[in-house]
Amino acid sequence: MSIETTELARLLGTEPGFTADADSGSSMVSGLLDRHHPMAWRWLDRFGAIETLTLFPSLPVEAGELPPWRDPGWSVEWRDSPDGDALTLWWHAARGEAMLVSQIPFGELRADTVARTLRLHRDGLGVCRLRTRDTESAPAQPLREVAWPQARAMHLGFA
């Protein structure tokens, strides 16, 4: 386990509502947000950042993987918080599933930044719950292809 992952696991261990489990064989810290949502934090060495991934609800993928974004049911959008944090929301309307992704530059890895990131992901889960409710009450519509914004892909830490 890297020094970055050890420090992250220590900071996450002090946060209420998050149970952390550091994987000694990798640069990953995983856990559950609010006891229900699988969450993974991984060190992106080449970007000098920590990537955070939250699943809503539990998706049939391993933590740290991306959804099959070529599936035309996925749409992608970015949301900025008042604190300047950005959250990427992968949403699959037909299945009511989502992946929320954000990053923390390692130089900003502090207790307040980790707490702010958890708040950002909780807010994102709230958006997902509203979308699920809206989807369930809306008439069914056929899926359509969603264009992948290539220009933003390089800034997310995965491509």
pLDDT string in tens for the chain (159-residue length): 466 677 888 888 888 877 777 666 667 888 888 878 888 888 888 888 889 999 888 665 555 566 666 677 788 888 777 777 889 998 888 888 888 999 988 888 899 999 999 999 999 999 999 988 877 676 655 544 444 333 333 333 332
- How far is 4 from 12, CA to CA, in rounded Å? 12
- How far is 126 from 46, CA to CA, in rounded Å? 32
- Percent helix, strand and coil across the chain, each rounded to 5? 30, 30, 40
CA distances in angstroms from 130 to 3, 33, 96, 110, 134, listed in the order given: 38, 18, 10, 31, 6
Give the DSSP H/E element, type plus range, for residue 27: none
- How far is 148 from 135, CA to CA, in rounded Å? 22
- How far is 115 from 147, CA to CA, in rounded Å? 33
Residue with token string 């749409």: 75
| Amino acid at the residue 122 | R
- How far is 80 from 3, CA to CA, in rounded Å? 29
Residue 62: CB partners within 8 Å, gap ≥ 6? Answer: none
State the pLDDT at residue 100.
92
How many Cα atoms within 13 Å fall on the side-chain side of residue 14?
A: 10
- How far is 40 from 31, CA to CA, in rounded Å? 6
